[in-house]
Amino acid sequence: MGQGLSCRESDQHGLFRAVQFGELDTVEDVLERDPTLLRHSTVYDRHSALHIAAANGQIKILSMLLERSVNPDALNRHKQTPLMLAAMHGKISCVQKLLEAGANVLMFDSLNGRTCLHYAAYYGHSGCLQAIVSAARSSPVSVSWGFARFVNIRDGKGATPLHLAARRSRPECVDILLDNGALVSASTGRYGFPGSTALHLAASGGSLDCIRGLLAWGADRVQRDSSGRIPYIVALKHKHGACAAMLNPSSAEPLVWPAPLKFINELNQEAKALLEQALMEANREREKNILKGTAYSLPSPLHSDTGMDDNISVESDLDQCCICFEQVCTIEVQNCGHQMCAQCTLALCCHKKPNPTTLCLTPPVCPFCRSPIAHLVVAKIKSCDDGDHDTEDNNSSKLRKARRSRNFSEGSSSFKSLSALGSFGKMGGRGSGRIIAGNEWVDKP
């Protein structure tokens, strides 16, 4: 009797050890002898074989266990699911497999009342976070509960995944969550300091990258926590000088995405990437001006004005933006075909703010023909064969004039009114980001 118990315990221990180290043949042999071991768990933590496989990234064993109808939502001692452990340890293949098997994304643990989304954000595994968010869009549980509500789900202390990612300095996770509808100015409950926003938490953690992303998505620099502190004061308290300089309410306002994000979400990925780059470059120039002459000066941007000018081709010159006359046209209005550079497009969209009282979006209009801008795509840059370079030099000025006259003739009054804005008048060299020199219009209603 005692010998039989000992054998059973040995088989159980051997099963868990084999699962941990990925010994698939051993696992199959043990389960052939005693299939009931699938229902067993470790003594203290109550980890099942599926928990152990998920935490250690043993995708082959995990797949085999799921094929044997093991419950994908098994709970351990702390009511953690295998999906939570896979997200905690960054095992993206296991996360994807569990999601395919129908793992519930709305399970809460008993430690802090957190879901798998909290785990991925807290530990900074952006791949797992993206997989969970993507699966949640089509998950029956999330659909019935609401995707926006799921992205902003709170743990037992009132912290959303965005709060955790910002506090733990996870900029990639912050970007993913904001891009999927996370509320940038939501306040915590008892997590951290009561009433803190993600910007407060990023300031306490000293993450410049998180602060950049939050500010670009419209985080309020003067929003106060329950003790009346703004993020600037929090950064000073934790001695993060560069963060404090960026969060100082007296410094220049950053450029933000045209809110509420419907306009950006309608872009294709290439056009969106171009606008993101233009916005971040503009804000990077703002940061350099703020931190100039301090001990926290930022490194030089990746691009070089002189280097880019040396590499500019005649083909690019033919596609010159007719608003600033200095950038290459990279964005095209799909319905009318007019083209602008990414910085001018971004400035145009940011200038048209929604009405905060009615939440009514007034779509921006093309500055040349005044037609509403519904969709933006990447502009096709015309190129010529090598043999046409001689004639190209002779005809380049004519093509430029024809291009500009076309834009002027189709909307000259609109163009003049747009050019009168201080922001466009102060825009400068290629990639210089001088778009931010005229910040005044950003705050206008």
pLDDT per residue, tens digit, the chain (445 aa), is 333 333 445 678 889 999 999 999 999 999 999 999 999 999 999 999 999 999 999 999 999 999 999 999 999 999 999 999 999 999 999 999 999 999 999 999 999 999 999 999 999 999 999 999 999 988 787 778 889 999 999 999 999 999 999 999 999 999 999 989 899 999 999 898 899 999 999 999 999 999 999 998 889 999 999 999 999 999 999 999 989 998 999 887 777 766 434 444 556 677 777 777 777 777 777 777 777 756 665 554 444 333 333 333 334 455 788 777 777 888 888 778 888 887 787 777 665 444 544 445 566 778 888 787 777 778 776 554 444 444 444 444 444 444 444 444 444 333 333 333 333 333 333 333 333 333 333 333 3
Angular region, 124: left φ>0, alpha ψ -120 to 50, beta rest: left
At 386 the pLDDT is 45
289-312 b/e with 16+ CB inside 10 Å = b? ebbeeeebeeeeeeeeeeeeeeee
What residue ranges define each of the domains in the chain, with the CATH number in brackets? 13-111+126-142 (1.25.40.20), 154-251 (1.25.40.20), 262-296+306-383+396-443 (no CATH)
Which residues have a Cβ under 8 Å from the Cβ of 77 and sit 6 or more positions away? 44, 45, 46
SS3 content of the chain, % helix, strand, coil (to 5): 55, 5, 40
DSSP H helices in 42-196: 49-55, 59-67, 82-88, 92-100, 116-123, 126-138, 140-145, 147-151, 161-167, 171-179
Alpha-carbon distance values, 5 to 10, 12, 13, 329 (Å): 9, 11, 12, 76
Complete edge-to-edge strand list for the sheet that includes strand 376-378: 339-340, 331-333, 376-378
Q: How far is Cα 226 from Cα 224, in angstroms, rounded to an integer?
A: 7
DSSP symbols for 207-261: -HHHHHHHHHTT--TT---TTS--HHHHHHHTT-HHHHHHH-TTSPPPP---SSS
Q: Would the pTM count as exceeding 0.75? A: no
**Tokens 């709305």, residue?**
106
At 288 the pLDDT is 77
